[in-house]
Structure 1
Amino acid sequence: MVYELRVYHCVPGRLPSIIKRFDTVTCRLFEKHGIKQVGFWTVAIGESNSDLVYMLQWESLADRDKKFGAFAADPEWIEARARSEADGGPIVASITNSILVPTSFSVLK
């Protein structure tokens, strides 16, 4: 198992838009493509309260490439992303992405 930690650093004022997009479209499309989420978080105390943090679980890097590639190319995703940005422009200013491998003592393996 490998885990992917993704942090979406939102354009100021746009965090509610990305939360809505994940809640109404993205998570459903993740399920459609077999993408397993570990969890989603917003920052209550920390560097930025306009970040969305989430973690995905993959069988392998090849599994990630296959499933995330299919998600990214899905016409429904492409249209939903464009629609969500039509009213106020881009939602995400930048993305921080890390691929994590569990240690021998991690409860997540």
Structure 2
Amino acid sequence: MIQQLRIYEIFEKNKAAFHNRFRDHAARIMRTKYGFRIVAMWETKFGDRTEFAYLLEWPDEATKTAAWSAFMADTEWSEIKRVTHAEHGLMVGQIEDRWLVPVDYSPARERSLLQAS
């Protein structure tokens, strides 16, 4: 298993709309159409910046690459982004994408993070 950490800069003025869009649309499409395994989601502050972070788990890099390509090309998702952008303005600023490689002594090397401890 490999993990991917995504961190999005979000804006206070339309934060609720962002969360509604991610919860009701992005996460649903990711899971049901493309097999994304979302481990956890957080909101955090970094200085003056509000961030939304989520952790994904993949069996391998090829699966991750194929799933992201398909999701980004999804017509339903493209339309949802277009409509919500028109209604609420820019909802995501900077995006950070981190590939998490477990060290040899990490429990994450031996099991899925979605499995019970």
Q: Which has the larger radius of gyration?
A: 2
- Counterpart residue number, 2:40: 39
Mapped contact 1:42–1:49 kept (Cα < 8 A): no
Residue 17 of structure 1 pairs with residue 26 of structure 2? no
- Counterpart residue number, 1:73: 73
Q: Which stretches in structure 1 are left out of the alignment for 5+ residues?
A: none
Mapped contact 1:15–1:51 kept (Cα < 8 A): no
Higher-helix-fraction structure: 2
The total of aligned residue pairs comes to 108
Q: Normalization by structure 1: what TM-score? A: 0.89
One-letter amino acid of the counterpart of residue 5, structure 2:
L
The offset of 1:106, in angstroms, is 2.0
Q: Which stretches in structure 2 are left out of the alignment for 5+ residues?
A: 110-117
Identity of aligned pairs, percent? 28
The offset of 1:6, in angstroms, is 0.7
Mapped contact 2:6–2:97 kept (Cα < 8 A): yes
Mapped contact 2:9–2:49 kept (Cα < 8 A): no
Structure 1 runs of 4+ aligned residues shifted over 6 Å read none
- Counterpart residue number, 1:58: 58
- Counterpart residue number, 2:113: none
CA distance in 1, matches of 2:17, 2:106: 34
The offset of 1:108, in angstroms, is 2.1
The two structures, once aligned, show a CA RMSD in angstroms of 1.6
Q: Deviation digits for residues 6-38 of structure 1, max 9, x if unmatched?
A: 110013422212111111101110112101111
CA distance in 1, matches of 2:87, 2:36: 28
